[in-house]
Structures are given as C-alpha cells and as structure tokens.
Amino acid sequence: MKRLLMLVIALLLVLAGCNTESNQDKVKKESESKTLTVSAAASLTDVTKALEKEFYKKHPNTNIKFNYGGSGSLRKQVEAGADVDVMMSANTSDIDKLQDENKVSKVYDYAKNKLIIIKYKNSTVKELRDVSSPDKVAIGEAKSVPAGRYAIDYMKKEDLYEGMTSTFVFAKDVKQVLNYVQKENAEAGFVYATDMYKGKDKKVDNVVKLADAPLDEPIIYRAGLVTDKKEAKAWFEFLKSKEAKEIFKAYHFEG
C-alpha cells in the first residue's frame, strides 16, 4: 500500500510539472502575440514615447518595440520581410510604394511637418548661401531620408543646389543632421521644425533656426498597416484618435 501511495504521489508530481510547463508555454505564447513592432521615422523618436504611454492606458498588456530610422531604410526592411507590424513614415511615397507591393493593407496620414534650416548658436552665418567649402551643410541621404530629398528640392527651387554640393555632409537621418550641427561639425543643416525640441517643450541645446525652407507641397507623414495582428490594428486606429492628435500637436506637429 505504501509503495502504491508513493507511486500515485510521483505520478501527480509529474502531471503537475507537465501542467506547469504547459501553462508557461501558454503564457509565453500569449506574451509574444501581444508584442507590437512599430518602425518609425527618426523624427518621431520623442512623440512616439508619449503616444506609447497614452496607448498603454487602454492596452496595458501590449509591449511596443520601436525601430527608428530613415523612412526609405525602414521601407526596405519591410520589403525584406522584417518583423514589423506598423510603419510610420515621414513622407507618403515610401508607404505608397509598400501599398503598391501589397506590403501594407491600409494607410493613414497622421501628421504634417515643416522643413527648416538650422545652425549652431554661435555661427556667424546669416543665410544658407553664406556657407562655402570647407564648411559643411548637413542633409539626410536623399535615397533613404525624406528630409534630405526635401532639402535638395528646396535648394534647387532657390537656385542654391549646384553651388553648394561641395559643402554637403550626408546623414542617415534627421537626428544625425541635428547632431552634426549641435557639435559644430556642420555650419548648417536641414531638419524638421519638430526637431528643434527635445521632448514636448524643451528646445535642443546649441541650435537655432537659420530660416524656414518652404516647399511647394506640404510634408505629410503617412502610416501603413503591415500585419493583421490585433495589436497592430489597435495602434493604427489609435493614431486616428483625438488623444493621439492632441499629442502630435503638443509635440509641435501639424494636424
């Protein structure tokens, strides 16, 4: 009888272990299914943190992973099959291309921005045309950074481009442009108006606006829904909400 009892107890412990392992696997699976990966333009680094905080109020079990970079580079990652659920671009063309390739199922224009020219605080430059080689003008890589393409469009429109090509230093995104100017490795640079702020209200150090760089067309930020995951759809719809629009406005984006 004693041996039988011990055998029953041993069997129960084995079954309990199996259940525990099964429950752990289930929890792990559920946790993985609630992970949301958002690829976002580098100019969204600060505002997306605020959006995440607001989103979490209604979706506390969703873990958001942000991947920042130039919009063109992010598009190429999606095209290559990277683990991305939603892409938030700083332009429309990269999302449109993904839609043409059936890589995104829905699109939404969630914000607008403006292009500006910056310089470091003690720079004596009065206008962009004052910069000449060996001094540098920082711009994003035109093939992967929308702000770089916008900068070139602006300079061509103003008949500045041909005379300034020797001054260009190229950056992987607008944050790197900002860094070049902040550290005085470039006399001037092209960034978005929102890049003048660190967070919601504090302005970045050692950088001032040299001039606006108006374009013929507005700078529209477009998002694309890459997967049909519930969390991805929830984030995509959240971008349309009143709360999200207020956050973008607070971080100096235009509606």
Structural domains present in the chain: 33-113+219-250 (3.40.190.10), 115-212 (3.40.190.10)
| Residue of 90, 115, 92 lying closest to 196 (CA atoms) | 115
Place of tokens 């997967």: 227
pLDDT digits (tens, 9 = 90+) for 80-96: 999 999 999 999 999 99
| Predicted model pTM | 0.81
Helix (H) or strand (E) holding 224: strand 219-225
Judged by average pLDDT, the poorest of 3-7, 120-124, 175-179, 221-225 is 3-7
Q: Which residues lie across from 64 on neighbouring strands?
A: 36
Looking at residue 2, what is its pLDDT?
52
- The model's pLDDT over 141-162, given as tens digits with 9 standing for 90+, comes to 999 999 999 999 999 999 999 9
Nearest to 181 by CA among 212, 206, 150, 152: 206
